[in-house]
Structure 1
Amino acid sequence: MTSESWSPKVSEIRCAQRKEGSAAVLAIGTANPANQVSQEEYPDYYFRVTKSEHLTDRKDTFKIICGLTGLENRFFYHS
């Protein structure tokens, strides 16, 4: 028995995964969690939470990367 005799074709799988009818966007929104850290404070926060404050060379590099992202705030959801 060859693999072709029992395996479905890619086109059959794709067809089975699609719904019929047109797609519609029902809503657009923004969900910002209550916990927020400014981008300037984020490297200090991250290294404190991960207990990696002793890695000062990486922290300096991370500060540069965070400064280049163009973000103002980072939002977190803590459970």
Structure 2
Amino acid sequence: MANHKSALKRIRSNEAKRLRNKYQHKTTRNAIKKLRDLSSKKEAEALMPSVFSMIDKLAKKNIIHANKAANLKSGLASHIATL
């Protein structure tokens, strides 16, 4: 167990950040799945900017790697283009 006050605070803040990151990452993954399941190009193009924004925010906060974000966005864009 931690012996210092600052270490105890760090444990609490790390747990809070971990839960927030987990929530944001899971929400984004669900949005990506929803976008891939759409069959209408018009609906997919309407949803695309919000999903791309979510991916960019994850990359900015280092929840996912920047290259992974780019790969996800590229794959989604090509998927929507083929609809």
**TM-score computed with the length of structure 2 as normaliser:** 0.29
Larger Cα Rg: Structure 1 or Structure 2?
Answer: 1
Relative contact order higher in (CA < 8 Å, ≥ 6 apart): 1
